[in-house]
Amino acid sequence: MAKWMSVAQVKEKIRESSAEEVTAEYLEAIGKSKINGYIKVSHKALEQAKKIDVEGYEGPLAGVPIAIKDNISVVGLPNSCGSKILEGYVPPFNAHVIEKLLDAGAVILGKTNLDEFAMGSSTETSYFGPTANPWDIERVPGGSSGGSAAVVAAGEAPFALGSDTGGSVRCPAAFCGVVGLKPTYGAVSRYGVVAYANSLEQVGPLANNVEDIAVLMDVIAGYDKRDSTSIDSKTEYRKALVDDVKDLKIGVPKEFFGEGIHSGVEKAVWDAIHKFESLGATWQEVSMPNINYALASYYIIAMSEASSNLARFDGTRYGFRENGENWHAMVSKTRAEGFGTEVKRRILLGTYALSAGYHDKYYLKALKVRTLVKQDFDKALSTVDLLMAPTMPNPAFKIGEKIEDPLTLYLSDVNTCPINLAGVPSVSVPCGFTDGLPVGLQIMGKPFDEPTVLRAAYTFEKNTDYHTKRPPEVA
């Protein structure tokens, strides 16, 4: 089986052979992998594929394998969130997106590696060790959905699900040279996703091309009564894929091209913007002055929500537990041993920001800045159709290069976290290379205007060949 097949090609291969054979070949590739992209491979994948063959199921994803980030609940598979503290925990229910995938006939290959509790930009904080970037196994794949992006880039799954709290789908998409979408907040149900920061995070797809992103969105998007933030926008994503950007107005926010951006990344992104211009679009510079405060606002809000959400992991109900002479000692020892350094750091900072005397000084002020950032997006998108900028300021860095310097790692999110604060859709598409590593173009749109975002990405893809470039053999 050829690697890096599109969903359409996978379905054709299934028609020629069987879902079981296709799944077996992906499992064989996973077994030979050197990138540590999966935490757990599903022991039911072949059984699931065989059942589809026998029953002749004809759902939109019948027999198509998919990888799932290991913070999304799947019955029968561990849901570790990349952490020791959830050791042995197997969820008794499926996330909403998993229900939709199974109804569509998808075959779940397994759970992918991630930064612990989705906290990180490099997939180095995982209890199960770092994932390697298929383009250079000495480099990070980005994070926190690094495992999902890496297995797609390495041909170990045709597409995957991740979650994006501050860039966790788009960052690894850019670093691994694949396509990654952060949908509008509320477009996809978060039911069954272990929460890091509820008001920011969103489930998003990763794939080798824009069409597969749209195919997956048509399956997983939509209203879910179990998620109070879920909205039924009735968007038809695949229908938006038209090779045409004539008369499209593009805004280029100057704040996204700030100090510290890699020259090769900047050149690749500007080349992409000029490509749109040659295809009939127009562009203009726009200013979003409050973006300069977005990163600080994002981390205060995210860490505050994390300190609240992670309080439930105490060894009392499920997962890892240390012994202690009383309940307080047990909880203290469990959390000290079960959580990694980065998670502890974020819990402590979030608890501090929410504490008496500091709530107004930090958390409340961060919420006010969030409103200003949202207003910047509203104002900019009232004059243009889309915004374009680099997804990441740099190409993938080496494993271990930044892990001891958390502030430098946090700065990696400078171009992605404003989108989560505003709740708007954003896709990262491959737009070139620098130093032999992929560069991502970030295309941002109005709330629930994924059709325009995907149309632009699709047109760019159809008129360039960056998405056809593949990393060196890593299996």
Catalytic site positions: 69, 144, 168
Burial class (CB in 10 A: 0-12, 13-18, 19+), 59: middle
Q: Which of 145, 170, 4 is nearest to 70 (CA)?
A: 145
CA distance 20 to 178: 26
| Bridging pattern class, strands 249-253 and 386-390 | parallel
**Token digits for 391?**
């997804």
Question: Helix, strand or coil for residue 346?
Answer: helix
Q: Which of 138, 218, 135, 217 is nearest to 182 (CA)?
A: 217
Q: Which of 215, 182, 214 is nearest to 200 (CA)?
A: 182
Check if the beta carbon of residue 422 is closer than 8 Å to that of residue 373. yes
Q: Which of 111, 188, 192 is nearest to 147 (CA)?
A: 111
The owner of tokens 């594929």 is 49
Check if the beta carbon of residue 420 is closer than 8 Å to that of residue 399. no
Question: Which residues contact residue 358 at a Cβ distance below 8 angstroms, ignoring those fewer than 6 apart?
Answer: 352
Check if the beta carbon of residue 133 is closer than 8 Å to that of residue 150. yes
Cα-flanking dihedrals φ and ψ of residue 449, to 5°? -105, 40
Can you say how many angstroms the Cα of residue 452 is from the centroid of all Cα atoms in its chain? 20
Q: Which of 232, 254, 169, 170 is nearest to 442 (CA)?
A: 170
Q: Before 144, cis peptide (omega within 30)?
A: yes
E-only strand ranges, 335-414: 386-390
Amino acid at 264: G
Number of neighbouring beta carbons within 10 Å of residue 76: 12
The owner of tokens 């109070």 is 228
